[in-house]
Each structure stands twice: as C-alpha cells, then as structure tokens.
A and B are shown apart, each in its own frame.
Chain A
C-alpha cells in the first residue's frame, strides 16, 4: 500500500483523537525498552496508532510516533547524542545534517521518514512537554491521563 504525499498531508492535517481516558500504562519490555501504544481515530474510525518509546538506560531518550495504517508517517525523537544525515534530494527546507537532540522526522514521498528537522528551544523540555509538542504538531487530541514513564521504573545500566 504505497502512500502519496497528499494522503499523508491530509492525515497529518486532520484532527485526530487518542480516545482512551485511562492513564498511559507503560509496558516494560526489557531493560532498554518501555513502550505504550494506542489507536488513533478520526470520527470513530481507527486509521492508525501512536507509539511511544522510552529507553530508561539513557537520559532523555524518547520517541513519539504516529502511523497511518502500517506506515510510520511522523516521529518526534529525543536522543542524548545525535547526528542525523538527511538524504540528497531532500526538501529544500531540510538541512543536510541534524545534531539537535530534539528533532522530528516528517514523511516525505520517496524518502519515508528519512528526512529530519531540528525542534528548537526544547533542550530542557520534560517528557510531558515533548508529548504536547508531538500532539500539537500532529493535530492529536490526546485524552489519556498522562503518566511519567520514569515513575515505577528503575534505571539499570549494568
């Protein structure tokens, strides 16, 4: 199922909702992978999912992803150390390299999610603040009660 830029742009621009009202229930899959995912709907029709990832062994290592059906179309990443290389032929506003720990990957026809842009002025932002940024940029009405992924998790690097 190949996506077109028009389909992705339409889905991104549409007002979407993560309907569950229960709190985010983080699932620890391993020492390095704590996740949560939920369906995302437009007018009661589920068209995709949101997926959040936290790596507790690293400080401020978070991902927030939006998928349309099986295709990941938008992602906000926070990584403690980053160098991202954007492909040649990228959109004109897309920089060659991104080194900003807080950055976003936007789906681009022909490149998928390989193109990244920095997100400025978020260097001290909390996990919840980054979630807000993700939802705002992706037009998501996020209804589940927020829960901090660090609560109940113990950092273990050994």
Chain B
C-alpha cells in the first residue's frame, strides 16, 4: 500500500498495524476468569500497561489493579495525599474512577475497547506524573548537646575536626558544615530528629551533592530512641546515614 499524506487510509492502516502488534489478551490462570490485556501504552520503566477485565453480571469491570500507583516507596501520609490527587486528576482527565489505589471503570460490553484504552491512558499518565516527596516530624531534642558529644568523641579518638566549616553549594549559597573532617573531606551533620533540622540537613546536602569531593554523612542521634523511618528515608536520598550507636564501626571510614 502506498503511504502518503494523500492516502489517509494507508496511514490509518499503518497505525492499526502498529497498535495490533503490541496488543495481546490472556486469561489469568487463577480460576477467576479475569482477562489481562497488554496495551501499546507503557509505564515510565518500559513495561506495557496491562488492564484487567472481569465480568460482573451484565457489565464488565476494567481495572489497572493499582499498577499505575505501585511505585510509592518513600511516601508519608502527606505524600500519599499528593499521589492520590495525581491519580484523581488522571482519572478525571480520562473519565474513569480511582478507588483504593486502583484506576478503573465499569462498562457494557460494546464499550469495552474504549474503556480499556481510557483506563490504560489514565494509569500511564498517573505513573508518569508521580514525583518525589517529603516526610514528617519528630521530637525536639538537645541538638547542641549532641553536636558537642560528637565533636568531643571524635577529638578524643584523634580525629581532627573543624566546627562550622564554610562550604559553597552548587547553587552558590554558602553553607556551614556542622562538623568537618578535613583529612577525608567528610561532612557530618548531627540530626536529633526534629523536623526543621532534618529538612535543613536535607536542603544543605541536596545543594552540596553536585559539588565533587565531599563525603556527606547524616549522623542520627539514637541514644534514647531511633529516629523514624521517614527521617532515614529522606536523608539517605542525599547522604550516607549513620547512627551514633554504631560509631565504633563507622569511625574508621571518616578519620
């Protein structure tokens, strides 16, 4: 067939052939009778969007079974709220519903094809829109006292340290490393768990991360209680995370 702008039928058939190549349906082998439909749409990681179809009386349930929102590992309740907003936006844009993390709809059989494409589009859009987020808070602590303890312990182990060492971040902003080990260019930021401090360390390390040569450590004060998983989850994105209770082990790395 001749392919040209003057031949819309040829263009249509070329598109259909491309879609057809990437379309496949299979019965799920778990006895539920559900059918999985591999669509030509893809999630950001390159996996095809799969939409599942189930008969419900005279209607069909069409769902992504939550696969569009599956990737939410570092998310607090606040962040999950944002993800829910993204999902609702994608659902609204494609005329489908979102429930318990699933994007889907119900339809009569003659609307099945269109419904599958709408749910697949919403699922792919939601997955592509999900962005990174931030965690929650913890108790106020004696931050200065912890910094002093770290400082004195390092000096007591013959690790030369500098306090409030000035460093320039990638933005051009001037930061102060709370504890700096010049020999290994290590920056230690003691973290007591108070959210403002956690956020401040995160910002500082985010700006210093693109600057070559510095080793960045978030040092968690776990003398009385473990900081929350959300604190670790946030800080590990921009630094190595060490706990005070393990200083006998990690001290050799930074001296």
Binding site for B on A (CB under 8 A): 1-2, 29-33, 35, 37, 39, 43-49, 51, 53, 55, 57-59, 63, 65, 67, 69-70, 77, 79-87, 105, 113-116, 157
5 more contacts with CB within 8 A, not counting A44-B246, A47-B236, A85-B48, are: A32-B70, A82-B50, A83-B24, A84-B45, A84-B48
Chain B residues contacting A46 (CB-CB under 8 Å) are 232, 236, 240-243
User: Which of A33, A58, A80 sits near B72, CB closer than 8 Å?
Assistant: A33
Q: A79 vs B29: C-alpha distance in the bound complex, in angstroms?
A: 13
Q: A113 vs B206: C-alpha distance in the bound complex, in angstroms?
A: 22
Q: In the complex, what residue of chain A is closest to B218 when comparing beta carbons?
A: A46
Is B101's CB under 8 angstroms from A1's CB? no
Q: Give chain A nearest CB distance to B18 CB in angstroms.
A: 13
User: Which of B54, B100, B241, B246 sits near A32, CB closer than 8 Å?
Assistant: B100
Chain B residues contacting A37 (CB-CB under 8 Å) are 73, 229, 233
Is B101's CB under 8 angstroms from A39's CB? no
Q: Per-residue CB proximity of B17-37 to A under 8 Å, as 1/0? A: 000001010101110101010
Binding site for A on B (CB under 8 A): 22, 24, 26, 28-30, 32, 34, 36, 38, 42, 44-48, 50, 52, 54, 65-67, 69-74, 80, 100-102, 132, 206, 209-210, 217, 229, 232-233, 236-243, 246, 249-250, 253
User: Which of B29, B238, B250 sits near A45, CB closer than 8 Å?
Assistant: B250
Q: A63 and B28 in contact (CB under 8 A), knowing A47-B236, A55-B65, A69-B239?
A: no
User: Which of A31, A44, A84, A115 sits near B66, CB closer than 8 Å?
Assistant: A31
Q: Give chain A nearest CB distance to B240 CB in angstroms.
A: 5
Is B240's CB under 8 angstroms from A49's CB? no
Q: A79 vs B26: C-alpha distance in the bound complex, in angstroms?
A: 13
Q: Give chain A nearest CB distance to B238 CB in angstroms.
A: 7
Chain B residues contacting A47 (CB-CB under 8 Å) are 236, 240-241
User: Which of B34, B70, B249 sits near A63, CB closer than 8 Å?
Assistant: B70
